[in-house]
Amino acid sequence: MAALIQFADVQRHYGKGEAEVRALDGVDLSIQAGEFVAIMGPSGSGKSTAMNIIGCLDRPSAGKYLFQGVEVQDLDQDRRALLRRHCLGFVFQGFNLLARQSALENVELPLIYKGMAKSDRVARAQAALEKVGLAGRAHHDPSQLSGGQQQRVAIARALASDAMVILADEPTGNLDSQRSHEIMQLLQALNRDGITIVMVTHEEDIAAYAQRLLVFTDGKLSHDQPTPPLTRQGA
C-alpha cells in the first residue's frame, strides 16, 4: 500500500543566486496512514516549510510530493484548495479561529466550502464539538473561551470536515503545561480512532506523545526514529 504522505527529494528554495535560501534541501520521507508523527528541529531547519508543503499551502521547488500515491506537487491553487478542503485539517499555534463567530460557526466553516446544507452542517459541527468536550460552549465566541478551549474548537474544525490528516503546527505553543497535556491526550485519542497526525513542536515532552520523531537540520531530515519508549507519553 502506498504511503499516505511521501516526499521524494523535495527541495524548497527562496530567492535567487547569492541570496538563495535552501529551506528544504532534498528531503525523502514517507508517513503511513494512522501514524502520529512529531517533527522537531531548530528554527530555520525547514520543519515549518515541510509542514506547509504537506498541508498544500506551499509547493516544492523541485522533487515530488505524493499524497495517497498521487503526485500533487504541480497542482494549481484551486486543486490544492480542494485537497485541503477534503483531506486535511489544520491546528495552529495561534488557534486561528474567526473572531466574532461562535465556536459552532467556526467548526462549520470548512463544511460551508464543502457545500453542505445548513442543517447537516450544524449537526456535524455539534458532534465534532461534543467529541472535543465543548458541547456546552457551541455558542460562545472565541474571546469567551480559554486558550485550551479555543484549541479544542480548532481541532473540532478539523474533525468536522472529516480530515484524514491533522496538521498541527506547535499546537501547544500558547498553552500552559496542563492544557498542553490535555490537548495532546485529545490528539492521541483521535489518532487511535485512525486519524493521521503530523505535528511540529520544539518541546520534547510534547513530541513524546507521538510514535515517531522526525528531526530536521539545515533543510535536511537528520533523524527519523520511533520516539523512545521510555519517554513515550500516554502509551
Partner 1 sequence: MLWETVTLAFITIIRNKLRTFLTVLGVVIGVAAVIAMVTIGQGSSQQVNASVAALGTNVLTARPGTRGFGPPTAGAPAPRFTLKDAEALAVLPQVVYAAPVVSTTQNVVFGNANASTQVYGTSGAYQLVQNWPLSAGRSFDPSEESAGAAVCVLGQSVSTKLFGGSDPLGQSIRVKNVSCLVLGVLVARGAGSFGQDQDDVVLMPVKAVQRRMEGNTDVDSIAVALRKSVSAADGIKAVQQVLRERRRIGLTQSDNFSVSDMKELSNMLGGINAVLTGLLSSVAAVSLLVGGIGIMNIMLVSVTERTREIGIRLAVGASAGQVLLQFLVEAVVLSLLGGAIGIALGLAIAFGGSIFMAIPFAPSAAVVALAFGFSALVGVVFGYFPARRAARLDPIEALRHQ
Cross-strand pairs, 30: 6
Percent of the chain as helix, strand, coil, to the nearest 5: 35, 25, 35
- Cell of residue 105, nine digits: 460557526
Nearer to partner 1, 22 or 181 (CB): 22
Report how far apart, in Å, the C-alpha atoms of 157 and of each of 51, 119, 123, 166, 178 are. Answer: 19, 16, 13, 10, 22
Q: How far is the CB of 225 from partner 1 (least distance, A)?
A: 29
Which grid coordinates belong to 61?
521547488
- Find the shortest distance in angstroms from Cβ 87 to partner 1: 9
Q: In angstroms, what CA-CA distances link 199 with 26, 47, 149, 210?
A: 20, 10, 19, 8
Specify the residue, 200 or 208, whose C-beta has the smaller distance to partner 1: 200
Q: How far is the CB of 85 from partner 1 (least distance, A)?
A: 2
The answer to whether 40 and 54 are in contact (CB under 8 A) is no
User: 135: which DSSP letter?
Assistant: G
**What would the grid cell of residue 9 be?**
527529494
Chain residues in the site for partner 1 (CB under 8 A):
52, 55, 57-58, 77-78, 81-82, 84-86, 88-90, 92, 96-98, 100, 109-110, 112-115, 157, 161
Cβ pair 92, 157 in contact under 8 A: no
The nearer residue to partner 1, 86 or 232, going by C-beta atoms, is 86
How far apart are alpha carbons 183 and 189 in whole angstroms? 10
For residue 86, the minimal CB distance to partner 1 (Å) is 7
Nearer to partner 1 by Cβ, of 116 and 134: the residue is 116
Between 53 and 213, CB nearer to partner 1: 53
Beta carbon of residue 11, minimum distance to partner 1 (angstroms, whole number): 17
Name the minimum Å distance from CB 100 to partner 1. Answer: 7
Which is nearer to partner 1, 16 or 100 (by Cβ)? 100
Among the listed residues 26, 61, 4, the one whose alpha carbon sits nearest the alpha carbon of residue 198: 4
